[in-house]
Amino acid sequence: MQHRVTCVRSYYETKSVTEVQRVFRRQFTVGRHGRVPSRNTILAWVKKFEETGSVFDVKHGAPRTVRTPENLQRVREAFVRSPRRSARQHSRSLGVSRKSLFLMLKEIKFHPYKLQVVQQLNNRDKEARVAFCTAMSGMLRENPDILNNLLMTDEAHFHLSGFVNKQNMRYWSPVNPKELHEMPLHSPKVTVWCGVGAFGIVGPYFFENDNEETVTVNSERYVTMLEGFVEPQLRRLGIDPEALHFQQDGATAHTARNSMAVVREMFGTVISRFGDIAWPARSPDLTVPDFFLWGFLKDRVFRRRIVTIQELKKAIVDEVAAIDEDLRRRVYDNFQTRLQKCIDVNGGHLPDVICGK
């Protein structure tokens, strides 16, 4: 440090690098052939002093961090104690920046989860769910082949506008583009019916009139679909409808007298309200179309840029056709897991049970 201070001071006094070198020789008794700081070294020291006010070198060691074992434990305890409290509030109470807090949360493997909105279940609902799951599990133990002859069905709406997840949608730009996503009040849609079995998928069937306009599902249209579409489709797949366990939910169109008369005549065993096996109300987490098919299809379909209803329908048909036997089998294995989980939680809402990849 003495060498550097001497050189910088001398340079400001003499404004000459050569004179600085002479001063250096005299000050530190350096012989004629001894080494003195070079011109570039002296000018670098002067520049460092002008920029930083010091001739010391910047330390390049590991930066100081608040992510000490003690602070990590403090963060863990704080979030275990108050898991619903916001990260901003925790940051303020713990006295660490939000950036450091998020890094520590990542290090201790804490992740943010959103609450899932589900239908309210009363005690009668839970009892009905347990009764169904117990009966179905017992039947599958006695005759595992039932799983190969189970057709679970439902309808869903697919809107042409698709959807924008505001939580995941980001627009990267130096300035706020103030971009808006316009969504029509009454977006054109299609109403789709599908039946999912381990043996294959029946459908999709689109509820529409002769002008290919989407229509409401009522019992007459439901019967027309069963007789004119579902039965012929099953025959083409080599499936005898009378050998099937046919599941449907309790929608009025499904359980009207004329609908139930056709369903009972067409299928061997009916799982439904007023059916051979009672289907529990408010149980979308137990039926394959609800816990698997619709979410899977919408994720795949809306990856495409779809402009017309015809393109939307074609995309649905294509993605249904792409679901292979292996995936269907795994979904039905998951269905059996759900039956047991429902029993375990006394008919309450299921914890996350997902199909294996």
Output the CA–CA distances (angstroms, integers) from residue 289 to 155, 187, 312, in the order listed: 8, 23, 19
Q: Which amino acid is at 354?
A: I
Average pLDDT estimate for 294-300 = 92
The SS3 assignment for 120 reads coil
CA angle centred on 187, ends 183 and 189, rounded to 5°: 140
Average pLDDT estimate for 142-161 = 94
Residue 167: predicted pLDDT: 47
Answer yes or no: pTM beyond 0.95.
no
pLDDT (tens digit, 9 = 90+) per residue, 54-98? 877 766 555 566 788 888 999 999 988 888 788 888 888 888 888
pLDDT (tens digit, 9 = 90+) per residue, 122-146? 899 999 999 999 999 999 999 999 9
Residues with Cβ < 8 Å from 235, sequence gap 6 or more? Answer: 241
Residue 83: predicted pLDDT: 84
